[in-house]
Amino acid sequence: MQDGTEPFASSAGGAQQGAVEGYRVLARKYRPRDFSGLIGQEALVRTLRNAIAQGRLAHGFMLTGVRGVGKTTTARILARCFNCIGPDGQGGPTAEPCGQCEHCRAIAEDRHVDVIEMDAASNTGVSDVRQIIDAVRYTPVSARFKVYIIDEVHMLSTQAFNALLKTLEEPPEHVKFIFATTEIRKVPVTVLSRCQRFDLRRISAEELTQYFLKIAAAEGARITEGAAAMIARAADGSARDGLSLLDQAIALSHGEIDEAQVRDMLGLADRTQLIDLYDDVLKGKAAEALKRLQAMHQAGADAAVVLQDMLELTHWLTRAKITPEPLSDPVTPEAERAWGAKVTPELSIPVLARLWQMLLKGLSEVQAAPQPLAAAEMVLIRLMHAANMPDPADLVRRLGEGNGAAAAPVPRGNGGAARTVPAPTQRLQTQQQIAPQATQQIAPSPAPRNAPQASALPQPQSFSDVVALFHARREAILAAHLQNDVHLVQFEVGRIDFRPGERAPSNLPNRVAACLAEWTGKRWLVSVSAQTGEKTLKEQAAELAQAQREEAARHPLVQAVLAAFPGATIDEVRNLAPEPAADATISPPGDLPNVDEPIEDEIA
């Protein structure tokens, strides 16, 4: 049994001491009195022990971590270590406070005049900090150091932090500051830089389970290891939260505390029932799943907690799919490990990821719904509908391997009954590019426009070539205007007539003419026309893309895919032909970057 907690150090025993002093909750009764009583903080304890042994006592400490992991307890232990004088009254700072001297007893009973605890949540202003600043000038009344413990320090106002900075940087030799916070990011970096920071980690479920078993034994209560593990999981790494739950479980039971009692107390679902519900969802058994959820709700399980447990199972199965370690974890019940080993090979990572995303979204819906049970049922129905859908990658693979067969089976993502879709007869090919390829080769050059040209580039033979040339010369804004805002009226080598759109800048013709003359070595006449002209290259590309999608939708293979995935649409049709060589021709406007947003930059 540990010697670092108060009842463990008493020869009378926990039950007898409780009878003499009156009832105290377990979280206070078993508060550690020295470093040996801290659990799950080995790195912190080792660092502080070494620092105290070497006499390297900092003037400021910042303790951070989630609630209930021992921040305030560690601060009080440090106050004892700093002020302990030993049983003979001649000792110095030590990592092993005696617990018998006047200072150790006074600090343990929260009555030491030189150890000042302050709650920053209720003392947030500058005036509260000024009281500290005025008091630090005076030496301790009886102890070696005057220790200020400020809990939830992140609640201090900005002005209060600023008032404390100078004192915190150069405090008197007899003053130590110990801060505790659960929101370290809210503490200014100017304060953090003046303190030694220690991060208290979450306590593992295994350590909490063993700790709760020892506490229950000291209290004369009997609790099964499974029930202690359930309390440890619900504590989520917090010893204080777990002790509060254990206190409640002891009060609930008159005999042995078992898993069923803890499950009822916490509103958890029976793990066996939860696994059966998960199986029903994976197999698409809607009626059985809804009936099982109703039974679990009638037994006291909360709908949101059921979805949380399903999320936990999904995460556990995903980890087991990647590495076998979760399937051999001794903390996990044997029945659950056997189920995981059976189910994991039948599931894929995409299916598990899909379940995770839908459960995560469904959990928020259940928490916000006026009728949580009804919302949870809708989530399960949605999950089972998704489970009946074929896996996209497997569907495409099987359709591609049909080779003219009458039908190709498509399994559901959950391994249930298969459906069939017509097998493909040929591969889907696109008909053409978005625009015809240019006929002349123009080598792109990264050099700036005004650099001297060794030789003139070939003359563009079409308006598409002009746009491609502007992209090749990295005139992206001009190219975007030509592609999106220009209605071509007439084109011939050396002359372009067009009707500009509303978003086209007024000096677009002059800039286009100047660039073409510079790049090609020939004078170009670019003028504005009042005629309607053709549609823009962007509009032409959109019409061609729509025609390709309509033609693709008539293909038997695509129709089979659309039938297998209700609600699916064709977003893009790509050409399966080999890509042209890197130095081929100017890219057609269909392959150019598409600028959908308005071009706001005015061309000088």
Does domain 41-199 bear CATH number 1.20.120.80?
no
Strands 196-199 vs 60-64: parallel, antiparallel or unpaired: parallel
Phi, psi of 253, deg, nearest 5: -105, 145
Tokens found for residue 441: 């080769």
pLDDT of 476 above 50:
yes
d(CA 528, CA 509): 7
Give the pLDDT confidence of 270-318 residue by residue, as tens digits.
677 888 888 888 888 888 999 989 888 887 788 888 899 899 889 989 9
Lowest mean pLDDT among 260-264, 271-275, 406-410, 521-525: 406-410
- pLDDT for position 21: 52
Return the CATH class of domain 271-387. Answer: mainly alpha
Predicted local confidence at residue 578, as pLDDT = 56
Mean per-residue pLDDT for 432-437? Answer: 36
- Which residue from 291, 314, 294, 312 is spatially nearest to 303, judged by alpha carbons? 294
Which token pair is 589? 């406007």
Q: Is the pLDDT of residue 371 over 70?
A: yes
Burial string for 576-598 (b: 16+ CB within 10 Å, else e) reads eeeeeeeeeebbbbbbbeebeee
Give the model's confidence band at 450: pLDDT under 50 very low, under 70 low, under 90 confident, else very high. Answer: very low
Whether 598 shows a pLDDT value over 90: the answer reads: no
Evaluate whether 317 touches 344 at the Cβ level (below 8 Å).
yes
353: region left, alpha or beta (phi > 0 left; psi from -120 to 50 alpha)? alpha
pLDDT of residue 75: 92
Produce one character per residue of 315-327: b if its CB has 16 or more CB atoms within 10 Å, e if not: ebbbbbbeeeebb
H helices present in 323-348, as ranges: 334-343
Beta-strand pair 222-223/196-199: unpaired
DSSP per-residue string spanning 364-423: HHHHH-SSHHHHHHHHHHHHHHHHTSBPHHHHHHHHHT-TT-SEEEE-BTTS---EEEEP
Query: Given a cut of 90, is residue 91 above it in pLDDT?
Result: no
Mean of pLDDT over the chain: 79
Greatest alpha-carbon pair distance for the chain in Å reads 107
> What is the predicted pLDDT for the residue at 583?
44
Q: How far apart are CA 14 and CA 21, in angstroms?
A: 10
The pLDDT of residue 514 is above 70 = yes
Q: Which CATH number applies to 205-266: 3.40.50.2000, 1.10.8.60, 2.60.90.10, 3.30.70.360?
A: 1.10.8.60
Beta-strand (E) ranges in 493-563?
495-500, 525-528
Q: Where are the domains of the chain?
A: 41-199, 205-266, 271-387, 392-422, 456-543+577-604
Contact 156, 130 (CB under 8 A): no
Model confidence band, residue 60 (pLDDT cutoffs 50, 70, 90): very high
Beta strands 419-422 and 525-528: pairing type? unpaired
SS3 for 153-169 is: HHHCCHHHHHHHHHHHH
At residue 325, the pLDDT reads: 82
Confidence of residue 20 (pLDDT cuts 50, 70, 90): very low
Q: In the structure encoding, which two tokens stand for residue 517, read together?
A: 């003359």
